[in-house]
Structure 1
Amino acid sequence: MKDIIRGLAYVVGDSIDTDQIIPAQHLVYSLTRPEERRLYGRYALSGVPAEGQGLPFGNIPFTEPDAYKSRFKIVVAGKNFGCGSSREHAPFALQEAGCEAVVAESYARIFYRNAIDGGFVVPFETPVRLIDKIRTGDELEIDTRLAKLTNLTTGEEFLLHPLGEVAEILRAGNLFEYARKAGLIPTNA
């Protein structure tokens, strides 16, 4: 995890489920073969409906049709982000698309744990309904140590909930790397 995460915002609404983050028909691709793995990035957030999901500029795709990476680095969401099935593919797909952080009012617990355990994206929680204050395309900066989000487009600053103990896992890269560094499992395991 970087100390500073900077990039364009992609705003979605409440209760974005894992089938909207990565639709089930795209789960056929290999997670280990590079030519297939990148397809998770292409289809990340492709199931999110444009209407009523906080997309202020119309139907803006998270990843352009012929691209594998998104120009949006930070997803800003409402309540209950990542609800639905427990698929690890959801935070993985966001990472493959180039997303580095999700800032949501709340998370489905399994998405939150999968994001941290795999070190896929940094899941910050916000006490403020940011989907009413940030627009898709705004340039954002997150100071991960201070748990502060700055909208560089508008100049507004927002305090986020600190990551607490999970920050060490994310800084290590994922749960297994953290366990190795902490001496909880052998370094060759």
Structure 2
Amino acid sequence: AGSPGEQLSRRCVLLLKAALKPDVWPHLCEPKLAWLDKVFATADSNAAACANACTALELLVFLLTVLRRDQALVALKPLQRGLAACVASNNAKIVRLTHNLLAKLTALFPTEPTGVAQVSKYEELETLYACVSKYAFEGLATYEKSAPGNAATALHGPLMMLKACCSSNPGYIDRLVLPLMRVLHRMVKDHVSS
């Protein structure tokens, strides 16, 4: 069930979700979320920070369902550095929740126009999307160069972020086909030799 602080956080989030329903709060609201950047940036520092970051990621996914697109972009812009830390986290729960957020984000705000090799057309998310792309590429490259049998677990994060980006834009994988094929070749080679 978690610590008392974690339980309180969850209860506050549930109350916030109830209050933000359009039938309860019909007026436009402008949530100020910049403070979450620090919560995300320190997610891997200790168990309490991890729990707070997980709650904040769940809240952000919910907010994407109730905020207008322009509101969401404004709210997300100051969070890119912290979210980038969540992208690169080694904690499985943070990776899963970041995957959920990224899948929802890329569905609402595609990483790039289909078939065009350029940076995101959403300036507010440019840093985050560039970080995700770099993290996936470097994660695949690191696995490919690692000692046999050592780094299979290190692939979890990069593959989850890649999966999130590809869920709404299958063409996203085109830029990473060669490194991905080398990783698959390496995995087969390691499996056959073990």
Shorter-chain TM-score: which interval? 0.3 to 0.5
| Higher alpha-carbon Rg | 2
More helix by percentage:
2
TM-score scaled by length of structure 2 = 0.33
TM-score scaled by length of structure 1 = 0.34
**With CA pairs under 8 Å and 6+ residues apart, which has the higher RCO, 1 or 2?**
1
